[in-house]
Amino acid sequence: MSRIKDASLAPSGRKKIEWVRSFMPALTEIEHRFEETKPFAGLNIAISVHLEAKTANLGLVLAKGGAKVSLTGCNPLSTQDDVAAAVAEMGVDTYGIYGVSPQEYEELLAETLSCHPHLIVDDGGDFIQLLGGRCKEYGDRLIGGCEETTTGIHRLVAREREGILPCPMVAVNDAKAKHYYDNRYGTGQSVWTAIMDTTNLIVAGKNVVIAGYGWCGKGAAMRAKGMGANVIVTEVDPFKALEANMDGFRIMTMDEAARIGDIFVTLTGCKDVIVDRHFAVMKDQAVLCNAGHFDCEVAVASLRKMAVHSQERRKNIVGYELADGRTLNVLGEGRLVNLACGMGHPAEIMDMSFAVQALSLAWLAEHRHELETRVYRVPDTIDDEIGRYKLRAMGLTIDRLTPEQEAYLSGWNVDGE
Ligand code: ADE
């Protein structure tokens, strides 16, 4: 069973899925292995991840491993209706419709969980939130799950601390094969692709304000610099601020940056990063967007109240006109700009992130009888395996330690005496 917008959109969705599959070799190699070993035979897997082509490919790979897969999105504006139609046609129970209200969005997630999953894939923690609340009854078969994002992991750790984690969870975001690439290079590219496509404006010469210098902020700042922007970083962590400074960026508070920024990108994972007092001093025609998981970084609801008039100026851009005549332009309603206004991370990047997901799920299935209800790190063996897959797929070879070098690195007697 599925709930999608329009089944006739499937041919366009299939093309998108076929395209990304050509650039996801690690996942393809895992798929071949899963076809033989069937690690998920007899298991139901529910996935809540941005419902676009790369995610559809993950669902198909898990199905090849013997799972019955149910799929939904993790943000109402990132679902692509044609991809949802295609993946539903390809045998994955799919519950996703672009642009639904928050209530309908939650309904779609609840319907997905009604398969009583053994394993879940969460992106931001919405599944876990439901399984700890109104969908508790659907969690009766849970073996464990994986979490994709930094934000989601913060919440898992808080739940673990309070003893209310519903099942063992693997912190996929924290794997080397995930955050070094996805958060930095994936965000670095996809955020700017989306901003530039949506606005059709130049980045070179602009004052770009990057809020937050975690891995995502580093990527967005690095690419903005590469395109010739004057990059300003705002931070709350002294060491991240120092790092940004030594990477060549100006550091200031948002109160200062608000006055001079042309383009603002929030990537903090926190709330209320850009609020009324900032809107009050921004330049006319400033562009505001968010690339953190939730839409609470730019206070769009307050801006809506402050505005005397608002209008859709281009697709995915609302201009808010203030009483003094200035207009502030918000992209994608303040939701993840790279997915609400773009196609998400490049396929080669999601290849690595979803390879971590696939192998971590297989690890959970294999170890199901030994697991405690806590947050697990991704085993190093999985990280290393994906690193090597990826190098091989890219035709790159690296040096190997000799036995003598290994002994040198792992021992205390450096002279070998
Ligand atoms: N595509 C699917 N999931 C994604 C994510 N978490 N970030 C960017 N692009 C994605």
Q: What does the pLDDT look like over 11-23, one tens digit per residue?
A: 999 999 999 999 9
- Ligand 1, pocket-test mutation among 19, 24, 55, 184, most atoms within 8 A of CB: 55
Stretch 102-111: mean pLDDT: 97
Listing DSSP states for 223-291 in one string gives HHHHTT-EEEEE-SSHHHHHHHHHTT-EE--HHHHHHH-SEEEE--SSS-SB-HHHHTTPPTT-EEEE-
Q: How high does pLDDT run on average in the chain?
A: 97
Q: How far apart are CA 96 and CA 112, in angstroms?
A: 9
Position 271 scores a pLDDT of 97
For residue 299, the CA-to-ligand 1 centroid distance in Å is 23
Position 309 scores a pLDDT of 98
- For residue 192, which of 331, 57, 298 has the smallest C-alpha distance? 331
For residue 349, the CA-to-ligand 1 centroid distance in Å is 9
Per-residue pLDDT tens over the stretch 343-353: 999 999 999 99
Stretch 84-100: mean pLDDT: 98
Q: What would you measure as the largest C-alpha separation in the chain, in angstroms? A: 79
Stretch 376-389: mean pLDDT: 96
Percent of the chain at pLDDT > 70 equals 99
Per-residue pLDDT tens over the stretch 203-235: 999 999 999 999 999 999 999 999 999 999 999
For residue 315, the CA-to-ligand 1 centroid distance in Å is 21
Ligand 1 in reach of 179 Cβ (< 6 A): no
Q: Give me the amino acid identity at 151.
A: T
Task: Assess whether pLDDT exceeds 60 at residue 416.
Answer: no
Residue 146 DSSP SS3: strand
- Asked if residue 264 lies in contact with residue 286, where contact means CB atoms within 8 angstroms, the answer is yes
Listing DSSP states for 285-329 in one string gives T-EEEE-SSSTTSB-HHHHHHH-SEEEEEETTEEEEE-TTS-EEE
The structural domains of the chain, ordered by start, are 3-178+345-393 (3.40.50.1480), 185-340 (3.40.50.720)
Tell how strand 68-72 and strand 144-147 pair up.
unpaired
- For residue 168, which of 378, 350, 352, 355 has the smallest C-alpha distance? 378
| Ligand 1 atom, smallest distance to 187 CA | 8
Task: Assess whether pLDDT exceeds 70 at residue 414.
Answer: no
Ligand 1 in reach of 49 Cβ (< 6 A): yes
Q: How far apart are CA 69 and CA 112, in angstroms?
A: 9
Ligand 1 in reach of 183 Cβ (< 6 A): no
The sign one gets for the Cα dihedral 393, 178, 96, 292 is negative
Per-residue pLDDT tens over the stretch 274-302: 999 999 999 999 999 999 999 999 999 99
- Ligand 1, pocket-test mutation among 19, 20, 49, 343, most atoms within 8 A of CB: 49
Residue 91 tokens, joined: 């045998």
Q: Residues 6 or more apart from 145 whose CB is under 8 A from it?
A: 119, 120, 121, 122, 127, 128, 167, 168, 169, 170, 364
Per-residue pLDDT tens over the stretch 234-276: 999 999 999 999 999 999 999 999 999 999 999 999 999 999 9
Ligand 1 in reach of 16 Cβ (< 6 A): no
For residue 350, the CA-to-ligand 1 centroid distance in Å is 7
Q: How far apart are CA 117 and CA 69, in angstroms?
A: 9
pLDDT band, very low/low/confident/very high, at 412 (cuts 50, 70, 90): confident
Q: Residues 6 or more apart from 280 whose CB is under 8 A from it?
A: 306
Position 413 scores a pLDDT of 77
For residue 101, the CA-to-ligand 1 centroid distance in Å is 21
Ligand 1 in reach of 50 Cβ (< 6 A): yes
pLDDT band, very low/low/confident/very high, at 415 (cuts 50, 70, 90): low
Position 125 scores a pLDDT of 96
Task: Assess whether pLDDT exceeds 80 at residue 389.
Answer: yes
